[in-house]
Structure 1
Amino acid sequence: MATDGGGKPAILRLAVPVPLRRLFDYLPPQGSDSAQLLPGQRFWVPFGGRKLVAVLEDIVSESPLAELKPALEQIDVTPLFDRQSRAFLHWAADYYQAPVGELYAAALPAALRKGKLADHWAEQWLELTTEGKGLPESALARAPKQQALLQLLLRDGRQSRPHLKTLGHSATAIRALLDRSLAQWTAGPTAPPPLSTDKGAAGAAPPRLNEEQRQVLDAIPADRFTVSLLEGTTGSGKTEVYLRLMERVLADGRQALLLVPEIGLTPQTLRRIAARFPGRSIAALHSGLAEGERARAWLSAAADQADIVIGTRSAIFTPLHKLGTVIVDEEHDGSFKQQDGVRYSARDLAVVLGRNAGVPVLLGSATPSLESLHNALNGRYQHLRLRHRAGDARPPQIHIVPTLGQQLEEGFAPQVLRHVGETLARGEQALVFINRRGFAPTLACDDCGWLADCPHCSSKLTLHRRQRQLRCHHCDYRRPLVDSCPQCHSRSLSALGAGTERSEALLTHRFASYPVIRVDRDTTASKQALDKLLAPARAGEPCLLLGTQMLAKGHHLPRVTLVVIQDADGGLFSADFRAPERTGQLLEQVAGRAGRGELAGRVLVQSRYPEHPLLQLLLEKGYGAFARQLLRDRAVAQLPPLRAMALVRAECEEAKWAEEFLGEARRQLEALAPPSPQLQYLGPVPALLERKSGRFRFYVQITAEKRGALQALLARLCQWAEGNRNRRLRWAVDMDAQELS
C-alpha cells in the first residue's frame, strides 16, 4: 500500500465533480507507488454507484472517516494542473460559491473530463541531449545533413517528427544524432497546427500607430500587474493595440491569452494574429472544436508549446505557466458570464488570473460594462481612451426614423428601404440589424385570439417558415407548422411581428440583383459557417447583410456604409434593470459597423419612441454620457455596480416547492444577517422567464454594501442548503448575476 513519508498509509484528498462543496478522501489505487502520486493528477473514483474522474488536491495521512474506498485507477503520470492553476480554481470556487470539483470539470476539455489519457494525443519530439546542447553550430562539419539538423535544434529547440519531414531532414541524419547520443525522442502534446492566413497578409508590415494608440501602449506596463480599461470607439484600432501588446510579450518569451466573446469571432481573429506572427504556435479553444482538437490545443498550451491562446470564456482556466498578458476583447459582452453550472465571469476571473501571475490585464470595448467603467472612474482600473477612428475613417452620421403612424412594409419604413436601394446601387454594402430569429415571433388566430405557446416554457413559439416549424428558442421544443387553429379550427392564422427570415424574404424580393446574407444562429450552426457567409462582404462585393447581434461584434467590413437598426426600443422598457445598458451597447456596436473604411457611413435607427430620454442621450452625446447617466441611476436605486449583488436561484417542476425552498432560504439568511441599509433582500420572486424546460424558476435577490460580508453569508447558506432540499429541486448561487431571466 502507498504510504506518506512517515510510513502512514497515504490518503488521497480529491476534488470530485459533484454538487457538494467539499473534497473527498480515498485510498490510493491498489498497487500504486506513493512517489508517483502528485497533486493535479486525475483519478477514476467510485461515487454513489458511478465512476467519475476526480483531480488530486492533496495527500494526507489522516481522514475524519473511519472507512475509505480506494480510487479505481490513476489516469495521469504528469499532473495536468500545477500549484498556481489549482489555487486559481479554488479562488474561483470560493468566490462563486461553487463545488471545486465542478470547477475542475469546467476547466478540462470534454475528452480529458471523460478520462481519456493525455498522451493519447502525444507526439514524438526530437530534442538535443545535454551533450548535444553543448556543441557549437559549426560541429559536424564533415556531415552537412547532420550539421543542418543540429543547427536547427540549437536554434529553434525541439521539433516534431512531421515538421522535420516537412523541412526535408532525413531519417538517416536523425538516426545518426540519436546513435551519437546528441539527440533523443520525447513524447509531448501535439503542437497547434499551422494557421492559414489571408493571401499576401503574412509577413506584411504592421500599420503605423497613431498618437493615441502609442500613448495607450506606453501606458500599459510590461512587467507588473495592472488592469487597464481600453475604451475605444468602434474602428479606433483596439485590435492593433492588442497585437502590439502580444508582440511585446512574445519577445520576452512569454504567452499571451486573448479572450473573445463568440466562437464566430475566432476565425477572423486567428487569421489576423497568424498573419502578424508567422511561425508562432497559436492554440484556439472554444466549443466549436471537435473533442480531439480541443484537447490537443489545451494540452499544447499547458505544455508551454502555444505562444498565443485565443478562446471563449472557458479558456480562462487553461494552465499557462509562462503567462505574459491577459486581453479580454469586447469585455462588456454577456457571453463572458456562464449562465448555468458554475456561474463564473471570465472577464472578472481574467483580472484575478493577471493578479496571480503579476502580468498586465487589458479589457477592451467601445461600450464598456458599467462594472468596468465604475472601476475605471474610481481609479481601480487604469482608464485608457481611443477617441478617434484609425486612418481616414470618420464616425457615421446617425438619424432617428420615427415609425409611429407610418405604413411599414414588413417592419421597414419606406425611406429606409429607399436608402438601402441607393446604397447598393452605388456599389456599397448595407447592414440591417434585427435581433429576432425566425420568420415571426409568434403565430396567432385572428378569430379566437389563440397564440402558439411553448408547452414547456413561459414563452411563445417562433415561426420558422422555411422549415415549416414552430420552435421555442429557450428549450428547443419543435412542432410542425399548423394550418388551422387548434382551439377553434379557424384557418385565419397570422404571423405576428418580423424576424430575420421574414425580413430576408422582403429584402431578397425588393433587391433581387444583390445577394442578401442572413447571419443568425440558424444560418451559422455549422463550423466555420459565419466566416464563409461573410466572405463576399469582406471581398467588397455590393451586398446586403441581415442579422442578429452576431453581426454587431468585432467585424471589420469597410464597404458597409449604411446600417439600419429596425427596432431600437426593445430594451428600454424591460423589467430587467440591466436592459437599458445592453440596449445602449448593442445600438452603439451595431452603428459602429458603418463607415469603417474610406467611405462615409450613415446609421438609420427606427423607433416608435424617438423622444425617449435615454435614446436621445445615447444618439446625441454618445455611449460615454449614456453610461454615466445609468451609473447615476444605479446609485439612486442601490444596484450594481454600486453594490454587490447575488441571486439564490431555485427551479422545480412544482412551483410551490421552489418558492418554499427559497422562502426558507431567505429566513435562514435573515436569521444570520437581518435586513439593514447595508444588506437588503428581495423575493422569492419569479424569474422573468418563469418556466423553462418544464421547470418553474424563482430567485431571492441579495444586495450588499460590502462584498466580503455577502460572500460569508452565502457560504453559510450553501452549508444549510446542501442538507435541506428536495431532491427534485435544483438550486444555485449566482454571484454577480447578470440575468434575471
Structure 2
Amino acid sequence: MRLAVAVEAPQHTGLGAPLDYLADRAWPAGTLVRVPLGRRTVTGIVWGDAGATPDAGLTLRPIAQALDALPPLPATWRDMVAFAAGYYQRGLGELALAVLPPELRKVDATQLARRLGRRRPASVPAPSPALRPLTPEQAAALDQLARLPPGPVLLHGVTGSGKTELYLRAAAQALDAGRQVLVLVPEINLTPQLEARFAERFPGRRLVAQHSGLSPAQRLQHWLAAHLGEADLVLGTRLSVFTPMPRLGLIVVDEEHDPSFKQQDGARYSARDLAVWRSQREQVPVILGSATPSLESWQRAEEGRYTRLTLAERVGGGALPRLRIFDMNRLPRDRSQQTVLAPPLQAAIEARIARGEQSLLLLNRRGYAPVLHCGACGWKSGCPHCSAWRVFHKADRTLRCHHCGFTERVPRACPDCGNLDIAPLGRGTEKLAEQIAALLPGARIARIDADSTRLKGALESQLAAVHAGEVDVLVGTQMVAKGHDFRRMTLVAAVNPDGALFASDFRAPERMFALLMQAAGRAGRDAAHAGEAEMWIQTWHPTHPLYRALATHDFAAFAATQLDERRSVGLPPFSFLALLRAEAREAAVAQAFLADAAAVAAPPGLVCYAPVPPPVARVAGVERMQLLVESTSRPLLQQWLAAWVPQLHALKARHKRLLRWAVDVDPLGL
C-alpha cells in the first residue's frame, strides 16, 4: 500500500508536501519511519494513506524501517505542524522534522525500544508545601479562571502582583484532574528560577525542561517523557510549544509580550500565537501573562476575543516604585556628556548601600563601548564584513562585531593614520560597571549580561549572589529586567534609555515601555521596603509622553494611545504584514529579485512596497534587502502568499546569481 510520508526537505526543492512510499502494512499516521531520499536514508513521519495505486509509470520506493516502538505522534500535533507550515510558508516535512529532537533521527528501532524499556515509573504526587492565602484579587481571578470555558485568557498583572502563584494554582487544578501542563518562558535564563518554583510546589510530580541549554540526549529524554505522558509538567522556551503531550490540560505563556517568542530564522513562527492556536485545537485553557501585554493581545482582549483578568495590586499591598526623572539638560554643558550618574541619583544609591539595600542599573548595551574612535582622522572601529561598528570589549582587549562575530585584538594605534590616541565612544555595561566602582568605592558591584554569563553556571551563581545580599549595585542588560524576584532591591535606574525613543521601528515605543516597566518592577518586591522603591530615569527628553505614562504605571493609557496611533495609519494589529527578505553578495542582485517579486500583481486590499535595505544592511559580507507586503485582511494575505511563494521559487531559478530569500509572516522588526 501507499503511505504519504513527510520528510525534511526545504520547500524550495519542491518537496514541501509529503512524498509517497510503499509499505508492507498500514502504519498509523504519526509513525516515525526511515525512508530513502535520493542517496540518503532520512527520518520521516507517516502523514496518512496516499491511496492504493501509484500513478502510471511511477516507481515508488519502500519504507526502510518503522520506529513502531514509539507511539505515533497524535493528530493534534500533526494538525498544529500543518497549520504552522501553511501559515508561515514552510515545507510541511521541513517544519515537522525541525521541531523534533535532533537525537531522534539518529536512533534506530532497536535503540529506541531499549530507551523506552528504561522508562521511569509514573510520578507519585506528594503533599504540597503549605500555601499562603491568596489576595482577594488573586482569589477572584482564580475563581473566574476555573469557570471560564477553554480559550485564551490574558492575565494582566502589575509586577509583584502574584501572576506566578496563579500559574501554580491553575496548574495544580489541571494536575489533580490527571492532565499535563505546558509552561512557556521567553528566555533560557528565566527557566531555572521558574523550574525551581514548580518543583517546590509539586514534589513527586515529574517536571522536564526543554531549552537549548540541554544536551541532545537530555532533550530527547525529556521529549520522550512528555510524549509518553510520563512528564506532568513541561517547562521550556519557544520550541516547547511543539512538544506532544497526550494529556494536555493547560498552557501558560509567561511574559507573553516578549519578542523572544518569535523565531528569527527558518520557520519564523510565534510560539505565543501557536500556543493560542493549540489551546483552541485541543480545547484547553491558555494563560497569557504579562505586566505589559503585547498590543496585539491587548486589542484582542478589548474586542472580547480574549478574556482579560487583572491583578492591579502587589501582593502584601506594597506600592509600585515612584518614578524619578532627572533632566540631563540641567547639568553644565561641559559635564553633561561625561556624567555617569546624576548627583541626586548617586546620592540615592549611596543611601541604599548604607541601609543594606540593593540597586539595579539598566543599560541595554553590552561591551565596554559601542565603538573606538580616532580623533585625528575620524577612523572608527567598523566591521569589514557588516554595516555595523565593532564593539570594544576591555576585559579581553578585543573589537567584536555582535552581528557576525568577527573579532580582532584592539590595535595599538589608528589603522589609518597611526595616531596612538584612539578612544572609546559611548558606554556599555562593562564600562558602566567600571565607572560605578570608581564612583562608589567599597560598594560590591556585579555585572550580568551575555558576556559575563557565557560560561556554564555563571548566570545561576551571579543571581544567587544577588539574592544572598552579596551585591550592592547590579549592572545589567534586559536579562535582569524581568522575571527576577530580588527581595532587597529598592532602586532601579535606566542610565541611558533615550536611544529607543525615536527609532524608525513602529514597535520601538511598545518595547521600550515594556522594558522600563518590567525593570521598575524589580524594585520594592518586598512589601516591607516597597514604600522606598524608586525608578530613576536619566533622560534628555523628560517631557516625552512615554515617560509620562510610565510615571503613573498606567499601561492601559499607554496602550490606548499607541493603538489609536496605529489604527490611524493602518499598522498592526489593524493590518497584517509579511516581509520578503533577500540576501546576496551584491545588493543589486537582491534588489533585482525583490523588484521582480513586487511586480507580481496584488489584489485590492494588498500592497507590495518597494524593496529597501534593513537597518543593518550587510552582515558577514552578505547584502540584505527586504520588501514589505501589507494587507487589510489576514485571510487575503494568506491566500496571496500561498500563490506567491511558488512563483518566488520559479523567480529565483531565473536569477542565476547566488541568492537566498525567506518570507517572514507577522514580522516583529522592520
**Bin of the TM-score, shorter chain as denominator length:** over 0.9
Q: CA deviation at 1:419?
A: 1.8
Distance 1:223 1:591, change over 3 A: closer
In structure 2, runs of 5+ residues without a counterpart are none
Is 2:584 the partner of 1:652? Answer: yes
Aligned to 1:679: 606
Aligned to 1:696: 623
Distance 1:451 1:488, change over 3 A: same
Partner secondary structure for residue 11 of structure 2 = coil
What is the CA–CA distance in structure 2 between the aligned matches of 1:581 and 1:270, rounded to whole Å?
28
Q: Which is further off, 517-526 or 426-435?
A: 517-526
What is the CA–CA distance in structure 1 between the aligned matches of 2:484 and 2:122, rounded to whole Å?
25
Aligned to 2:101: 109
Counterpart selection for 2:244 from 296, 319, 337: 319
Q: Where in structure 2 are the equivalents of 1:55-454 lying within 5 Å?
A: 55-60=45-50, 61-64=52-55, 66-112=58-104, 114-117=105-108, 120=111, 187=117, 189-190=119-120, 203-221=128-146, 224-404=149-329, 406=331, 407-408=335-336, 409=338, 411-454=340-383
Is 2:403 the partner of 1:461? Answer: no
Q: Where in structure 2 are the equivalents of 1:423-572 lying within 5 Å?
A: 423-572=352-501
Query: Does the 8 Å CA contact 1:122/1:189 hold for their aligned counterparts?
Result: no
Aligned to 1:54: 44
What is the CA–CA distance in structure 2 between the aligned matches of 1:480 and 1:46, rounded to whole Å?
49
Which amino acid in 2 is paired with 1:595?
A: G
Q: CA deviation at 1:679?
A: 2.2
Q: Percent identity?
A: 40
Aligned to 1:643: 575
What is the CA–CA distance in structure 1 between the aligned matches of 2:247 and 2:110, rounded to whole Å?
22
Aligned to 1:129: none
Tell me the TM-score normalised to structure 2 length. 0.93
Query: Does the 8 Å CA contact 1:111/1:292 hold for their aligned counterparts?
Result: yes
Which amino acid in 2 is paired with 1:370?
A: L
Which amino acid in 1 is paired with 2:17?
A: L
What is the CA–CA distance in structure 2 between the aligned matches of 1:226 and 1:482, rounded to whole Å?
58
Q: CA deviation at 1:662?
A: 1.1
Which amino acid in 1 is paired with 2:101?
A: P
Q: Which is further off, 559-568 or 501-510?
A: 501-510
What is the CA–CA distance in structure 2 between the aligned matches of 1:119 and 1:690, rounded to whole Å?
50
Is 2:17 the partner of 1:23? Answer: yes
Query: Does the 8 Å CA contact 1:428/1:542 hold for their aligned counterparts?
Result: no
Which amino acid in 2 is paired with 1:81?
A: L
Q: CA deviation at 1:560?
A: 0.2
Q: CA deviation at 1:85?
A: 0.7
Query: Does the 8 Å CA contact 1:123/1:189 hold for their aligned counterparts?
Result: no
Counterpart selection for 1:662 from 560, 576, 594: 594
What is the CA–CA distance in structure 2 between the aligned matches of 1:321 and 1:527, rounded to whole Å?
33
Which amino acid in 2 is paired with 1:728?
A: L
What is the CA–CA distance in structure 1 between the aligned matches of 2:111 and 2:556, rounded to whole Å?
51
Query: Does the 8 Å CA contact 2:340/2:435 hold for their aligned counterparts?
Result: no
Residues 195-248 of structure 1, C-alpha deviations (whole Å, 9 max, x = no match): 9xxxxx994312211111111111224684221111100000000010000010
In structure 1, runs of 5+ residues without a counterpart are 5-9, 125-185, 196-200
Is 2:29 the partner of 1:39? Answer: yes
Query: Does the 8 Å CA contact 2:66/2:109 hold for their aligned counterparts?
Result: no
What is the CA–CA distance in structure 2 between the aligned matches of 1:300 and 1:117, rounded to whole Å?
18
What is the CA–CA distance in structure 2 between the aligned matches of 1:208 and 1:591, rounded to whole Å?
26
Which amino acid in 2 is paired with 1:436?
A: R
Residues 408-447 of structure 1, C-alpha deviations (whole Å, 9 max, x = no match): 5563323322222221111011111010000001111111
Aligned to 1:716: 643
Matched length: 656
Query: Does the 8 Å CA contact 1:17/1:104 hold for their aligned counterparts?
Result: no
Which amino acid in 2 is paired with 1:238?
A: K
Query: Does the 8 Å CA contact 1:552/1:589 hold for their aligned counterparts?
Result: yes
Query: Does the 8 Å CA contact 1:403/1:607 hold for their aligned counterparts?
Result: yes
What is the CA–CA distance in structure 2 between the aligned matches of 1:371 and 1:443, rounded to whole Å?
40
What is the CA–CA distance in structure 2 between the aligned matches of 1:435 and 1:277, rounded to whole Å?
36
Partner secondary structure for residue 500 of structure 2 = coil
What is the CA–CA distance in structure 1 between the aligned matches of 2:199 and 2:575, rounded to whole Å?
42
Distance 1:608 1:237, change over 3 A: same
Query: Does the 8 Å CA contact 1:222/1:360 hold for their aligned counterparts?
Result: no
Which amino acid in 1 is paired with 2:561?
A: Q
Query: Does the 8 Å CA contact 1:11/1:63 hold for their aligned counterparts?
Result: no
Aligned to 1:705: 632
Residues 98-147 of structure 1, C-alpha deviations (whole Å, 9 max, x = no match): 111222133212212x43348747778xxxxxxxxxxxxxxxxxxxxxxx
Q: Which is further off, 299-308 or 607-616?
A: 607-616
Query: Does the 8 Å CA contact 1:45/1:72 hold for their aligned counterparts?
Result: yes
Query: Does the 8 Å CA contact 2:291/2:518 hold for their aligned counterparts?
Result: yes
Is 2:669 the partner of 1:739? Answer: yes
What is the CA–CA distance in structure 1 between the aligned matches of 2:385 and 2:121, rounded to whole Å?
45
What is the CA–CA distance in structure 1 between the aligned matches of 2:626 and 2:112, rounded to whole Å?
44
Counterpart selection for 1:612 from 544, 547, 563: 544
Q: CA deviation at 1:683?
A: 2.1
Tell me the TM-score normalised to structure 1 length. 0.85
Query: Does the 8 Å CA contact 2:613/2:625 hold for their aligned counterparts?
Result: yes
Partner secondary structure for residue 599 of structure 1 = helix
Distance 1:458 1:350, change over 3 A: same
Q: CA deviation at 1:56?
A: 2.0
Partner secondary structure for residue 396 of structure 2 = coil
Query: Does the 8 Å CA contact 2:446/2:471 hold for their aligned counterparts?
Result: no
Residues 33-83 of structure 1, C-alpha deviations (whole Å, 9 max, x = no match): 415x33223333444555533222123234457233444544454345121
Distance 1:478 1:121, change over 3 A: farther
Distance 1:108 1:190, change over 3 A: farther
Query: Does the 8 Å CA contact 1:432/1:544 hold for their aligned counterparts?
Result: yes
Partner secondary structure for residue 616 of structure 2 = strand
Partner secondary structure for residue 689 of structure 1 = coil
Distance 1:18 1:122, change over 3 A: same
Query: Does the 8 Å CA contact 2:28/2:72 hold for their aligned counterparts?
Result: no
Distance 1:51 1:122, change over 3 A: closer
Residues 13-52 of structure 1, C-alpha deviations (whole Å, 9 max, x = no match): 3332323463243434xxx6415x3322333344455553
Which amino acid in 2 is paired with 1:735?
A: V
What is the CA–CA distance in structure 2 between the aligned matches of 1:235 and 1:475, rounded to whole Å?
38
Q: CA deviation at 1:539?
A: 1.9
Aligned to 1:599: 529
Which amino acid in 2 is paired with 1:723?
A: A
Query: Does the 8 Å CA contact 1:123/1:190 hold for their aligned counterparts?
Result: no
What is the CA–CA distance in structure 2 between the aligned matches of 1:11 and 1:519, rounded to whole Å?
53
